[in-house]
Amino acid sequence: MTGRTMRAAIYRGKGNLEVVEIAMPPVGPSEVRVAVEYCGVCGTDLHDVLDGWGVLGSIGGHEWSGRVVEVGSGVPLEIGTLVVGNPGSACGRCEACLAGRPNLCEDRSTAGVEQSHGAFADYVVVDSNQAVTVPPGVEARAAAYAEPLAVALHALELAGIDPGHRVMVSGCGPIGAAVVAALIAQGHDDVVVVEPSPLRRDLAVRLGATVLEPSDLETPWHPGIAVDEPVNAVIETSGVRAAAESGLAQLVACGRMVLVGTGMDFPRLDSNRIILNELVVTGAYTYGAIGFASALELISSGLLPLDDLVEPGSVGLEALLDTMVRLRSGEVAGKVLVRP
């Protein structure tokens, strides 16, 4: 395929994507070329393009599935293998890697400052250890959900949730919905979602959650006082300042809040409430060593309502920018898949 071109959606500046023909990248000895089947649109993609967080010249898209069409000389994968992309790279030697947390590798790239070459394109070239083989029976469309689901499962792992715990999920965008669906699939029946969008509240109800609006939440006047119906864990997926601040006040003593959603309007958390109730607040960054394996296993189990979680059909590269705007405005509730 050397010398050929492919189409890609390239970030040209805030609110500006350009679909152009670019040179097909070469395949190194340890790499594979994958023909992209589907690529999900992530909240990070919205930040990069609509908020201007992206690096000029980047190609977004990291929630993808596709089929191997070319392999390097040292790669055992067969042509035609369905794979999903694990965008992380790790040294395998540092303390974090040896602890099974390659997402925190000492040699990881600095988020948001390196030019990406993702899957909003006809093809993507990745190192073979970043191409995870999809189990038999899982179709490409379902497999593309593995990356956001791995993020959700990692957040739940850090939350330390027991079967009888009451869990609050703040925001029912793509990651919030994945968290809710995973909780329900794992047998949790006391899941509360806080979401202002009617479309996303409806999705949360279909997934099996109890739904509240942000205005329904109260913050007691004293940091040592609990609300009437506290929760054991809050999974904050919206990245909204007020959501994190009010979410903290919903926790029982020794409760945990896991911050998953990103934003630039940082919350001001009540340290007195954290101290008086010995609360734990932690971040959740992508996923650990078995994140994709766990996600693919749950997808292959058939327990996830993928028809609710993923929007019907798909969009092409030309419709990607408009789709991002619609996602930001709340006109779309589920995961949108791009089919280059």
**The token pair that represents 126 in the structure block:** 């990745």
**Own/partner pairs, 110-116, CB within 8 angstroms, 24+ separation:** 112/53, 112/55, 113/55, 114/55, 115/55, 115/56, 115/57, 115/58, 116/55, 116/58, 116/59, 116/60, 116/62
Q: Please return the burial class of 278, using the count of CB atoms within 10 Å of its CB with bins 0-12, 13-18 and 19+.
A: exposed
How far, in Å, are 114, 231, 243 from residue 257 at the CA level?
Answer: 30, 10, 11
Dihedrals φ, ψ of 11, to 5°? -75, 120
Residues linked to residue 64 through DSSP beta bridges, in sequence order: 39
Residue in 2, 111, 130, 132 with CA at minimum distance from that of residue 58: 111
Structural contact between residues 210 and 232, judged by C-beta atoms closer than 8 angstroms: no
3-state class (DSSP) for residue 322 = helix
Q: What angle, 0 to 180 degrees and rounded to 10, lies between the N-to-C axes of helices 198-207 and 174-185?
A: 20
Q: What is the DSSP letter of 107?
A: T
Q: Please return the burial class of 7, using the count of CB atoms within 10 Å of its CB with bins 0-12, 13-18 and 19+.
A: middle
Structural contact between residues 251 and 270, judged by C-beta atoms closer than 8 angstroms: no
Active-site residue numbers?
A: 44, 47
Please provide the size of the chain in residues: 340
